[in-house]
């Protein structure tokens, strides 16, 4: 069955695909999006269970502050208008078995005073660290994403270099050391253990974590009230209102190619749709090796997917709790006196988060609690499809709940609902390789790929582009949205058109010469 042609077909209705669709429609292109799931957002999602909403993505959103980096993009995508954001003065806490606590304040001065009270002997490191956070409050992270690298001429690079010049020393210093390595420099035993946990994963480059605290202090890293799915639905509405079309429950089986040019897609229903260009905003490995049969490769692409780069696979246990936790810290990592074994690995810490700061996620007087752990994909993949898989989910959730009982006495009696998501859950619903929820894990080794960029095209294949987390190391929500924006800017350049953006708030057209 052959369908009528369109200008651009987009595979995947995640944030990158929706953003690409919005900007394409703004610029006069006719687009269709094909999505395997029945909901927008991809990994930017949430799910409702018995009156509770369990969020699966956004902990903080860069661009939540007006006139701050990334805010204009969210305005263009209709995601921030009329939306409330929760801004925390306290990012998280790390608590030792003896009760000693590191409170990660977003205010650098307050954080400095607190850390000095914990370890005066680490004064030099603490002051250096907090001074760095202050420096990052002036750093515009979106500078690296504002124009596609392939369109940047020597003048553009000079301008970017000039804007980045004040931060070169800062990036060089803090971009080459991970949180774990930085923690090892501290004399205080507690801070040596706590520092690697203060940004949720120990291999994160310090500059990323420090930028996060700086943006939190600037009120530019808030949580969108209503959670991730409602945020994605706002962008979906913007796309549909602009004349776009989404086909849900429509999984692409193959990208159609003629004479080394992408010309359309074939669905698993055997329907075929044709377009002048194809944009893949879905899983990178699946795109290259399945949708295209591995025909358009080079050495660099093979190396990207040979398994040596770190991924972030996650186990999430979500609880609906008949208890009001609003008086408790909203995010705590507990360091354990004795390790627990989860998915075959010893764990010495567990992260616990409640969402009482957003009353829309639970009935009055009740709470959503989420425990998140990195977990090996292979462990879950080996038992998937067997009865032991379900039994293992139950067992692991009970182990974690037993630990929670120590921190929140009698919590077991208040649990009304338990939901468990493994890497196989993420893989099943999004198609992402090994259930990765951020593409390549952002480390000091992969971070500088963000500056250099990963090719958005494949060798030997015309009219085809890739966007999203697999071509943007770190895969954060604003970065993948900017990926969708940039690809349309690139397409406009190819068609010798001026790239145009509009916002919901104004009929004024903003244009940017290419």
Tell me how far the alpha carbon of residue 43 is from its chain's centroid.
8
Q: Which helix (H) or strand (E) holds 260?
A: none
Residue 514 has pLDDT above 60, yes or no: no
Residue 507 has pLDDT above 60, yes or no: no
Q: Which pLDDT tens digit goes with each residue over 268-314?
A: 999 999 999 999 999 999 999 999 999 999 998 998 888 888 888 89
- Over residues 107-115, the mean pLDDT reads 97
pLDDT at 513: 35
Q: Which of 54, 89, 156 is nearest to 514 (CA)?
A: 156
The reply to whether 8-46+227-308+441-509 and 311-430 are identical in fold is: no
Q: Which pLDDT tens digit goes with each residue over 361-378?
A: 999 999 999 999 989 999
pLDDT at 452: 61
Residues 315 and 426: their CA atoms lie apart, in Å, by 10
State the chain's mean pLDDT as an integer: 91
Tell me how far the alpha carbon of residue 194 is from its chain's centroid.
23
- 465, two tokens: 């582009």
Among 90-99, 218-227, 472-481, whose mean pLDDT is lowest? 472-481
Residues 488 and 495: their CA atoms lie apart, in Å, by 10
State the CB neighbour count (10 A cutoff) for residue 317.
Answer: 26
Sign of CA dihedral 493, 495, 498, 502: negative
* Helix then strand then coil, % of the chain, to nearest 5: 40, 25, 35
Sign of CA dihedral 472, 477, 479, 485: positive
Q: Which pLDDT tens digit goes with each residue over 469-493?
A: 998 877 789 999 999 999 999 999 9
SS3 letters for 304-355?
HCCCCCCECCEEEEEEEECCCCCCCCCEEEEEEEEEEEECCEEEEEEEEEEC
Residue 214 has pLDDT above 70, yes or no: yes
The answer to whether 351 and 344 have CB atoms below 8 angstroms apart is no
Residues 304 and 308: their CA atoms lie apart, in Å, by 8
Cα separations in angstroms, 316 against 128, 343, 353, 371, 513 = 35, 12, 11, 6, 45
Residue 467 has pLDDT above 70, yes or no: yes
pLDDT at 1: 45
Strand 221-224 to 85-86 pairing: antiparallel
Cα separations in angstroms, 144 against 61, 140, 156, 157, 485 = 17, 8, 11, 11, 13
Residue 259 has pLDDT above 90, yes or no: yes
Record the pTM.
0.93
Beta carbons within 8 Å of 463's beta carbon, 6+ residues apart:
261, 262, 263, 276, 277, 278
Q: Which pLDDT tens digit goes with each residue over 150-183?
A: 887 888 777 877 877 778 888 889 988 999 999 9
Residues 23 and 288: their CA atoms lie apart, in Å, by 24
- pLDDT > 90: what percent of the chain? 73
State the CB neighbour count (10 A cutoff) for residue 443.
Answer: 18
Residue 3 has pLDDT above 60, yes or no: no
pLDDT at 38: 94
Q: Which residues pair with 420 in a beta bridge?
A: 317
SS3 letters for 53-109?
EEECCCCCEECCCCCCCCHHHHHHCCCCCCCCEECCCEEEEEECCCCCEEEEECCHH
CA neighbours closer than 13 Å in the CB half-sphere of residue 157 = 8
Q: Which pLDDT tens digit goes with each residue over 39-56?
A: 999 999 999 999 999 998
| Assigned CATH topology for domain 8-46+227-308+441-509 | FAD/NAD(P)-binding domain (3.50.50)
* 3-class state of residue 482 by DSSP: helix
Q: Which CATH number fits domain 311-430: 3.30.2420, 1.10.760, 1.10.3470, 3.90.660?
A: 3.90.660
Sign of CA dihedral 417, 422, 425, 426: positive
Q: Could you give the angle at the alpha carbon of 38 between the alpha carbons of 437 and 442, nearest 5°?
A: 10
Domain ranges of the chain: 8-46+227-308+441-509, 106-217, 311-430
* 3-class state of residue 186 by DSSP: coil
pLDDT at 22: 98
End-to-end, the C-alpha distance of the chain in Å comes to 39
């Amino acid at each position: 069955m052959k369908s009528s042609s369109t200008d651009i077909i987009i595979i995947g209705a995640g944030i990158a695909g929706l953003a690409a669709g919005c900007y394409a429609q703004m610029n006069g292109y006719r687009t269709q999006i094909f999505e395997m799931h029945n909901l927008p957002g991809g990994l930017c999602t949430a799910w409702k269970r018995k009156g509770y909403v369990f969020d699966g993505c956004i902990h903080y959103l860069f661009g939540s502050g007006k006139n701050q980096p990334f805010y204009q993009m969210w305005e263009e995508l209709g995601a921030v208008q009329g939306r409330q954001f929760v801004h925390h003065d306290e990012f998280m806490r790390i608590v030792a078995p003896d009760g000693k606590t590191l409170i990660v304040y977003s205010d650098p001065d307050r954080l400095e005073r607190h850390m000095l009270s914990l370890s005066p002997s680490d004064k030099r490191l603490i002051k250096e660290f907090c001074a760095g956070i202050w420096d990052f409050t002036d750093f515009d992270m979106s500078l690296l994403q504002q124009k596609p690298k392939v369109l940047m001429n020597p003048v553009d690079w000079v301008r970017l270099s000039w804007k980045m010049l004040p931060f070169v020393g800062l990036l060089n210093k803090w971009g080459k050391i991970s949180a774990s390595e930085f923690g090892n420099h501290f004399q205080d035993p507690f801070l040596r253990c706590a520092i690697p946990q203060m940004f949720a994963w120990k291999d994160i480059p310090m500059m990323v974590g420090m930028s996060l605290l700086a943006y939190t202090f600037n009120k530019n890293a808030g949580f969108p009230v209503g959670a991730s799915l409602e945020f994605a639905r706002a962008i979906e509405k913007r796309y549909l209102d602009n004349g776009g079309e989404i086909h849900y429950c429509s999984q692409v089986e193959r990208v159609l190619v003629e004479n080394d040019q992408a010309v359309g897609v074939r669905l698993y229903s055997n329907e075929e749709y044709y377009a002048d260009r194809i944009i893949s905003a879905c899983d990178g490995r699946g795109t290259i090796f399945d949708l295209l049969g591995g025909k358009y490769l080079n050495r660099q692409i093979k190396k990207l997917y040979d398994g040596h780069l770190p991924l972030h696979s996650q186990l999430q246990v979500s609880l609906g709790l008949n208890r009001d936790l609003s008086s408790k810290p909203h995010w705590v990592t507990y360091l354990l006196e004795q390790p627990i074994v989860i998915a075959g690995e010893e764990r010495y810490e567990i992260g616990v988060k409640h969402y009482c700061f957003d009353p829309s996620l639970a009935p009055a007087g009740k709470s959503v609690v989420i425990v998140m752990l990195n977990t090996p994909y292979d462990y879950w993949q080996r038992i998937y499809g067997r009865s032991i898989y379900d039994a293992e989910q139950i067992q692991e959730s009970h182990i974690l709940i037993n630990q929670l009982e120590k921190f929140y006495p009698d919590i077991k009696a208040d649990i009304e609902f338990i939901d468990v998501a493994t890497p196989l859950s993420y893989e099943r619903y999004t198609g992402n390789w090994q259930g990765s929820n951020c593409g390549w894990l952002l480390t000091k080794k992969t971070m500088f790929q963000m500056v250099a960029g990963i090719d958005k095209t494949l060798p030997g294949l015309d009219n085809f582009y890739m966007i999203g987390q697999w071509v943007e190391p770190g895969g954060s929500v604003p970065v993948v949205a900017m990926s969708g924006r940039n690809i349309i800017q690139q397409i406009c350049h190819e068609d010798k058109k001026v790239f145009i953006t509009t916002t919901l708030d104004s009929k004024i057209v903003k244009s940017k010469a290419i």
